[in-house]
Structure 1
Amino acid sequence: MRPKSPILEAINLLGLIHEKTESAEEKELLLTAADALGFINMTGQQYEFDDYRQEFRTEGPEMVVASFATREEAGAWLKNHPRPPYLALVLIADQYHVVMYDRDDNFRKLVSTHSIEYHLEEMMKDGRPPPVASFDTREQARAWFYSLPERPSQAVIQLGSEPYLAAYHRNIDHLAFHPFSLLEPFEQWRKTLDEKKDTEEPGPQS
């Protein structure tokens, strides 16, 4: 006997809700959700889905599907990928990028995104958490992190004189280091965008 599948049970539940729903738009959305779960089940991605759900529930930054040391490595990966993961996130030198892909014309591009800056900003709402450990080098921090009996999704550490967020991506076994100093240019970038928006908005008409 095959074990019960939460995915199949969720599909059945969506079907029951679909029967009681009168809105055509909501019915279509329910079918889309059921089809998405069916796709996961039929393509054998249950374990990957479980990993995603576990990662999604952590306090760490957004999940990535790959990590690269250089943009050249990332570019080669994207160029040779048979089916690029559309809109998935990857790290290049621990900087977040999103995979842009159009299969109709085979357009492929990696675009930088401020995912980690938004995450750091959220962490700073009540002040920056104190570091749990201090190190002189990343190698020392990495050795300490991998020696932990249970690796957390993230930890604030001190590297030299600067605070960092050490983020562990369990699905690809990668430890990323993000300096909190990223927030300063991010805030300046956003301020510049706001000022530009204000100047482009038409004034009140007389």
Structure 2
Amino acid sequence: MQDEAPTFEAINLLGLILEKTESVEERELLFTAVDALRFIETTGQQYEFNDYRQDLMTEGPAMVIASFATREEAEAWLKNHPKPPRRAAVLIADEYHTVYYRRDTNDRRLVSTHSIEYHLEEMMKDGRPPPVASFDTREQARAWFYSLPERPSQAVIQLGGEPYLAAYHRKLDHLAFHPFSLLEPFEQWRKTLDEKKDPEEPGPRS
């Protein structure tokens, strides 16, 4: 990949498409895309955008913008943030949460999500990948991972006799551990949700 994302070339291409587009709605969407790329250029975020595109090509779970040991730390960060993100993923004790922020009301919330469960489920489509290493403690797993000459975005390991996904968030230099056992309560939660959405039709009256 080039050192910088080719945003300038993309803007020119969108301009050519705009010249051939007659639909008002489609032109507005194309102008929005152009403005987004110009925002990246004018605010000097080319490298961040390039890193984002690079992360999209990895096999790891969803990217996060921050990681916290406790919910109290996360809430303090969100409360004191001068310009919180409108919506973004963060980790709290290696559990996925979404930050929601409304500028007009200054409403700031942290909501638990099932991002990692969906990712683990996708990995299990053809059966769980075999572990590449086995450890008794997280400290041992972390020491092994950081000793690798090239750290992968994710690796299936055995931790304390249980299968885990070790996910490396390169931008934060954070190694998260996600147990595959999360899938059992997740499947039960989704089953309950489906039952609420599609209740059985009542039988004929006697």
SS at match of 2:47: helix
* Corresponding position of 1:145: 145
Aligned partners of 1:107, 1:201: CA distance in 2, in Å? 40
* Corresponding position of 1:126: 126
TM-aligned CA distance change 1:64 to 1:202, over 3 Å: farther
* Corresponding position of 1:158: 158
Question: How many corresponding residue pairs?
Answer: 202
* Corresponding position of 1:198: 198
1:35-50 map, 5 Å: 35-50=35-50
Aligned partners of 2:4, 2:70: CA distance in 1, in Å? 43
* Corresponding position of 2:18: 18
| 1:77-116 superposed Cα distances (whole Å, 9 cap, x missing partner) | 0000001111110000000001110011100000011000
Asked if 1 retains the 8 angstrom alpha-carbon contact of 2:4 and 2:50, the reply is: no
SS at match of 1:199: coil
What TM-score do the two structures reach when normalised by structure 2? 0.94
Offset, 1:199: 2.1
Aligned partners of 2:170, 2:20: CA distance in 1, in Å? 40
SS at match of 2:53: helix
* Corresponding position of 2:97: 97
* Corresponding position of 1:32: 32
1:182-193 map, 5 Å: 182-193=182-193
* Corresponding position of 2:54: 54
Offset, 1:202: 9.2
Aligned partners of 1:26, 1:200: CA distance in 2, in Å? 42
**Deviation larger for 183-192 or 25-34:** 25-34
Give unpaired runs (5+ residues) of structure 1: none
SS at match of 1:152: coil
Asked if 1 retains the 8 angstrom alpha-carbon contact of 2:132 and 2:156, the reply is: yes
TM-aligned CA distance change 1:100 to 1:160, over 3 Å: same
